[in-house]
Structure 1
Amino acid sequence: MPEEKKKQSLPFFANCLIAGFSGMGAAVFVHPLEVLKFRMQLSGEKGSTVDHKNSFQAIVNMAKKEKLSGFYGGITANFTRQLVFTSTRIGTYTTLSEKLKKHGQDTVINNAIVSMSAGAMAAVIATPTDIAVVRMTADGRLPPESRRNYKHVFDALHKIHRDEGVKGLWRGTVVTVNRAMVANVTQLMSYDTAKKYLKDNQNMEEGLKLHTLSSMVSGIMYSVCSNPMDVFKTRIQQQKIIDGKPEYSGMVDVATTLVKTEGITALWKGWPFYYLRIAPATVLLFVFMEQLNKGYRKYVLHEEQENKRN
């Protein structure tokens, strides 16, 4: 009986809230890398003069022109995105994967389907907040007359709806969903695989070291596989609408234009910052989730008291 209490599954809403708040906690530390990633992805768009020759120059230029506040531009949008996107994708995946385990159906294929489905659903729901993040973090690179100057995430969502309609809030949904599916399956499944390998073959025990190494492996797989989609997404969501016509007609157009004008390596623009953001973000995400999970079990489910009684 004590063992059952200890291992009981958390309700869906708890899994979602824990994932969302954990994502917000991680965002506090990695948001500057998110900003730098977007800046590098937009640099040299359509063959224009590059804003930064390399990652180091990007940091120096931003520090000079925008100070510390520039590195945290769009943080309110990122917090909102974590509450919507991360809570949905991980909360759904956690709940469904636990159900698969209970029924003995937690195969690689089933987990992959659950992971991709959760990522796709979360991406559709969170696309408006994703657009707000891209635009708010990229605004500082534009000349003053071209900036959107959103005050906060709700101001951004209001103005996007006002100027571009409902369609504008879900601009780039297809590429966002594709990116989320690739990212979710590579991140979650590679993390689980790396963790199992390190435990079985390197005799590593549960703890921060195991989680960190697993996250680094996961980050490499996640970032390499999803970076091209992330670049496409950034370009589409940041584009200007001129005379009612967007700069790009869709994912194929942005991919073709990018490779033609900037070369095949442009598919991995901003990769260093993308990886450096993903690896610590994954570690922080799982560490925060573990602590919030323990807190929920202790103070809401009162499992410690139940175990002591038994």
Structure 2
Amino acid sequence: MIANATTEKRISRWYFGGLASSGAAIVTHPLDLIKVHLQTQQDGKVKAVRLAISIVKQQGITALYSGLTASLLRQLTYSTARFGIYEASKQYVGGAKADNIPFYQKALIAGMSGAVGGFVGTPGDMINVRMQNDIKVPEAQRRNYKHAIDGVFRVFREEGFRRLFSGASTATGRAVLMTIGQLSFYDQIKIMLLKSGHFDDNLITHFSASLAAGAIATTMTQPLDVLKTRAMNAKPGEFKNMMHLVTYTAKLGPLGFYKGYVPAFIRLAPQTILTFVFLEQLRKHFGYLQTK
């Protein structure tokens, strides 16, 4: 990412983003599950803590990790693609000075990377939503996927190939905003901190930049995240089109598009922080050297 004050710097390998995001997802998965449950309910009165306690009481602590394999599948597709394309494109545009290219170029590259990542990650994302949501419905209505791959094959057999990409438009739009909010803002905020003279390229700087990026990304993506989650969890034919889904959600008022915002931020902040901390450590110890 950002160069140290030496004649050499280490560059992230294309797959580091997927590995870092997967590690972060393992830690934050229970928070993601709570967020999905809040987004898929029409009753806006249930709070995150009360919902978490209810899940643990009824089904045990392991229920908070429902759909973990799907979450990992999503990160290994979605995040590997967006981080890999972002880093490769940035190096192509800026070469040895890639970190100093204008912010608007970083944002454009991030948006393009997010679009690709969001699309290829849609099947894993959909299975993730369904597996997490399974524990809140009656047993007779549960899909009971054994794991992520089983879910992908069952959707393909039972609902068709196109159903695997249900919600792809909202997932892609969300991924564009998420990648801009996380990657380009992280890069830019980190550069600003380093140039201030009060920060070094260390854990404190990585933490500060990623926390700010997580807050920005949550605010930018929450409306699309709500719509994406509802579209992926919907029964076939439940919503006629995207406008039907929007109007259905709008019945809750403007805040209906920000359902689950607090758990989304509580989940995305550590997710973003851990992702970049892991990514920086991977870069530092296993990245390839680039001479200035």
TM exceeding 0.5: yes
2:162 to 167, 176, 179: 167
Aligned to 2:234: 239
1:76 aligns with 2:69: yes
Q: Which amino acid aligns with 1:134?
A: V
- Is contact 1:195-1:210 (8 Å) kept? yes
Identity of aligned residues (%): 29
- Is contact 2:122-2:165 (8 Å) kept? yes
Q: Which amino acid aligns with 2:31?
A: L
SS of residue paired to 1:7: strand
Aligned to 1:227: 222
Structure 1 unmatched runs, 5+: none
- Is contact 1:27-1:281 (8 Å) kept? yes
1:21 to 12, 19, 22: 19
Which string of whole-angstrom CA distances, capped at 9 and with x for unpartnered residues, describes residues 197-227 of structure 1? 3333471222222211212211111001100
- Is contact 1:22-1:285 (8 Å) kept? yes
Aligned to 2:3: none
TM-score by length of structure 1 reads 0.86
Which string of whole-angstrom CA distances, capped at 9 and with x for unpartnered residues, describes residues 152-205 of structure 1? 001100111111101100111111111111111111122223223333347122
Give the paired residue count. Answer: 283
The 2-side partners of 1:240 and 1:191 are apart by 37
* CA-CA distance at 1:103 after TM superposition: 7.6
- Is contact 1:74-1:137 (8 Å) kept? yes
Note closer, same or farther for the CA distance 1:202–1:9 as it changes in structure 2 (3 Å cut). Answer: closer
- Is contact 1:27-1:79 (8 Å) kept? yes
1:67 aligns with 2:67: no
The 2-side partners of 1:113 and 1:162 are apart by 37
1:274 to 264, 274, 281: 264
Which structure has the greater CA radius of gyration? Answer: 1
SS of residue paired to 2:14: helix
1:292 aligns with 2:282: yes
- Is contact 2:11-2:283 (8 Å) kept? no
1:39 to 37, 40, 47: 37
TM-score by length of structure 2 reads 0.91
- Is contact 1:93-1:118 (8 Å) kept? yes
Aligned to 2:242: 251
Structure 1 stretches of 4+ moved >4 Å: none
Q: Which amino acid aligns with 1:119?
A: G
Q: Which has the higher contact order (CA 8 A, sep 6+)?
A: 2
- Is contact 2:210-2:276 (8 Å) kept? no
- Is contact 2:10-2:284 (8 Å) kept? no
- Is contact 2:107-2:184 (8 Å) kept? yes
Aligned to 1:88: 81
SS of residue paired to 1:136: helix
Q: Which amino acid aligns with 1:7?
A: K
The 2-side partners of 1:7 and 1:189 are apart by 19
